[in-house]
Structure 1
Amino acid sequence: MKILTKAERRVPYIWIAFAWSCVALAWGPAAALAAGASPSLRELAVATAFCFASFLPWALATRRLFRLCHRHPLGEGRDASSVIALLLTGVAVIPLLTLVVPAIQAAIALISSSLFGPPQPLAALARRIIVTSLFAVPTYVAVIAVGQTFVWAGRARDQEARSARAELRALRAELSPHFLMNALGSIAQMAHLSADRAEAALSALANVLRSGLTAENEMCMLADELGAVDEHLLLYRQLNGRLDYRRAVGDSMWQRLLPSRILIPLVENALTHGETLPDGTRQVDLKVTAAPHATRIEIGNPAPAVARASNGLNSGLDHVRQRLAILYQDRFRMTVARNGTWFSVVLELPDA
């Protein structure tokens, strides 16, 4: 969830050109019909072309007017200064933009009077610019209104992104204390039996915590995520003994992006709630394959013959589902299935 940069907030020129073209296409026929009840195709074409020429300066200035709205937003407690700045800018900009077409016409008339007739007197030209500027005031107000709308829409997106990131951090932090307390409790018991084993377990725990604290980015490569899983499993071996970890990863999958530390709670659930093999060994299978436009990750473990209720299991799965919902909305799939004595969680995460 990233906050939009200034470059990402800019409205592409193609959309600005499209919007102003729609306005010109709407105004052209209306202007021709206002001049005569039954305009010819030539008169319609000339009126539409004139509208395109009249709105071209506005189209070229739209991005700058939008940036003006970002510098002087309304509704932030300094409306008076923003309104004054927008009004003063309008007083300067509106005549400047409306005199472009009359000035071009006057220049062409000086060169060739056959196109637009003889040059207009300066007084008539000034009067035309003043009248056109007055008619252009609603146009300026409309552009500023759209710009202010973009400002507040962008800020709403930024606030949503900040809220989502805060919620993600809270979800990740909520999982860590439970894991840490269990690990420290096991190491404390181990210290009474073997100082060397306790030291090795503390070293493994330090590696796990170091990698977790340095994982600031919300997304990471699959290779880094699997490295974090390996560190957790090494700690598990130090604390609990035998583990059968089977991993299958497609050759082209290692660089795929996925949410950082999203697999850790699933692996911890498999270790904590899975059934042990007859010799006491825990088994965890992890398989990563490519799905259409997605990365498919399956984590499985043996399950008891009779399903047992477990709030801890449901809590861990709910945390993962909540994180994925924040990051991907409804573009991911998380399937929890029990097939006889085998329990599996399957994630399908869309490609970035």
Structure 2
Amino acid sequence: MLTQLSLPKLQIPFLCHGQFMVRVLVVSQAVAVVLAFAPGVYGDVWARLGFISVFVHWISIITTLCLCAARHKINQLKPISIISVVLCIFLTLTLIVSAVAFSLFSTLFNSINHEMSDFLAKNLMVAFIVALVAVQFLIVHAEKSEQLNAQTHAELNALQARIQPHFLFNTLNTVAELTHIDADAAEKSLLALSALFRAALDVGKLVPLQTELELAKQYLSLEQWRLGRRMNVNWQIPDALPAIQIPALTIQPLLENAIRYGIENSAEVGKLNIFSIESRNALTIVITNPYYQSIKSSGGNGIALDNIRQRLMLQYGSSASLTFGNSEGLYRVKLVIPKS
């Protein structure tokens, strides 16, 4: 009997994307071929293959769409409940599609010459075996995700240990100077610093995109006090944003890289641009900053970007992406976050 202790933290990944749907169709067709050419089957094999192919594809596609629609609610359940719900959805849809298929095609194929109850029982038995195999793959996927998550946290901790002293010392020096010039600004900078450290405690958790952007603005306000006219920040992100959850401290490290490896190395006023592009399925955030050879030669920038990319892959799979490169004196980072 499955227990909570024997199961990893199961999460149904985002299934409604082209790559996964192609895999579903390929696996469904393979199952159809096996069933059609099974020993002891009589009648027109090719007609049987055509019928079973349509039948299996119906079940697999409808099941995938249902899991996509109910993904967020199902993932809130306990592991054993997730397995039970997935099995119930798959078997229920198999029963419904089997009944409809039998009613529509039983008179067209001589190979279906038994009662509906016998037909439904055999299909449910095959579906149950296939579902158990799918659940086993889900458990293996969850176990690998936990291993990747642990590795990512370890790398993130190493990254924070490398970045935070640099940022902390600069901020404290800025606050010390502001206490003699502008007491209100010194107080605001300390509050912003406090918010950043609170966010560091939430690493590994999901936060609203709006919260992450507000944190990024607080971070830039700290750096703006330190850099003054050396940095010009241009925000082009609308106030109304989709309700997206992203891993905490995803955007702020990108801005820290832009300042540390771009703005600070600029002999002129360094322009930092942050803008967004919203499509039907995703939100894209683009950050640009001056590019210098020091960005390429320094290893810290790559560590942060690789770490963020791993966390995005863990949460969204191939639906999210983080790309970067330089062109015509600008370093450009593009973050793509799916809406669902």
- Smaller-chain TM-score range? 0.5 to 0.7
For 1:331 and 1:42, locate their aligned partners in 2 and report how far apart those are by CA, in whole Å: 42
Residue 271 of structure 1 corresponds to which residue in structure 2? Answer: 259
> Which residue of 204, 217, 234 maps to 1:230?
217
For 1:176 and 1:43, locate their aligned partners in 2 and report how far apart those are by CA, in whole Å: 65
Give the AA of the match of 2:113: T
* Pairing 1:322-337 to 2, within 5 Å after superposition: 322-337=310-325
Residue 56 of structure 2 corresponds to which residue in structure 1? Answer: none
1:48 aligned onto 2:113? yes
Q: Is the 8 A contact 1:332 1:348 kept in 2?
A: yes
Q: Give 5+ residue unaligned stretches, structure 1.
A: 30-40, 63-138
**How far 1:57 sits from its partner (Å)?**
6.0
For 1:184 and 1:255, locate their aligned partners in 2 and report how far apart those are by CA, in whole Å: 31
Distance 1:156 1:49, change over 3 A: same
Give the AA of the match of 2:254: L
Residue 235 of structure 2 corresponds to which residue in structure 1? Answer: 247
Higher normalized contact order (CA 8 Å, seq sep 6+, divided by chain length)? 2
Residue 152 of structure 1 corresponds to which residue in structure 2? Answer: 136
**How far 1:286 sits from its partner (Å)?**
0.3
Q: CA RMSD in A?
A: 4.1
Distance 1:24 1:236, change over 3 A: same
Residue 205 of structure 1 corresponds to which residue in structure 2? Answer: 193
* Pairing 1:146-225 to 2, within 5 Å after superposition: 146=130, 148-186=132-170, 200=187, 201-214=189-202, 217-218=205-206, 220-225=207-212
Distance 1:195 1:310, change over 3 A: same
Distance 1:147 1:226, change over 3 A: closer
Distance 1:276 1:157, change over 3 A: closer
For 2:333 and 2:273, locate their aligned partners in 1 and report how far apart those are by CA, in whole Å: 11
Residue 10 of structure 1 corresponds to which residue in structure 2? Answer: 87
**How far 1:143 sits from its partner (Å)?**
7.6
Say which one has the larger Rg. Answer: 1
For 1:166 and 1:306, locate their aligned partners in 2 and report how far apart those are by CA, in whole Å: 31
TM-score scaled by structure 2?
0.59
For 1:240 and 1:42, locate their aligned partners in 2 and report how far apart those are by CA, in whole Å: 78
**How far 1:216 sits from its partner (Å)?**
5.5
Distance 1:217 1:316, change over 3 A: closer
The residue matched to 1:301 in structure 2 has which SS? strand
Distance 1:287 1:144, change over 3 A: closer
Deviations 1:46-100 (A, max 9, x none): x7352x22354677xx6xxxxxxxxxxxxxxxxxxxxxxxxxxxxxxxxxxxxxx
**How far 1:314 sits from its partner (Å)?**
2.1
For 1:347 and 1:42, locate their aligned partners in 2 and report how far apart those are by CA, in whole Å: 53
For 1:305 and 1:144, locate their aligned partners in 2 and report how far apart those are by CA, in whole Å: 59
**How far 1:343 sits from its partner (Å)?**
1.8
Q: For this pair of structures, how many residues does the alignment match?
A: 256
In terms of mean alpha carbon deviation, does 275-284 or 221-230 score higher?
275-284
Distance 1:157 1:178, change over 3 A: same
Give the AA of the match of 2:259: L
For 2:286 and 2:325, locate their aligned partners in 1 and report how far apart those are by CA, in whole Å: 11
For 1:183 and 1:23, locate their aligned partners in 2 and report how far apart those are by CA, in whole Å: 65
The residue matched to 1:289 in structure 2 has which SS? strand
**How far 1:269 sits from its partner (Å)?**
0.7
**How far 1:253 sits from its partner (Å)?**
2.6
Q: Is the 8 A contact 1:2 1:161 kept in 2?
A: no
**How far 1:153 sits from its partner (Å)?**
3.1
Q: Is the 8 A contact 1:299 1:345 kept in 2?
A: yes
Give the AA of the match of 1:177: A
**How far 1:156 sits from its partner (Å)?**
1.8
Deviations 1:104-155 (A, max 9, x none): xxxxxxxxxxxxxxxxxxxxxxxxxxxxxxxxxxx6xx78755653553342
Residue 132 of structure 1 corresponds to which residue in structure 2? Answer: none
Q: Is the 8 A contact 2:216 2:252 kept in 1?
A: yes
For 1:188 and 1:2, locate their aligned partners in 2 and report how far apart those are by CA, in whole Å: 43
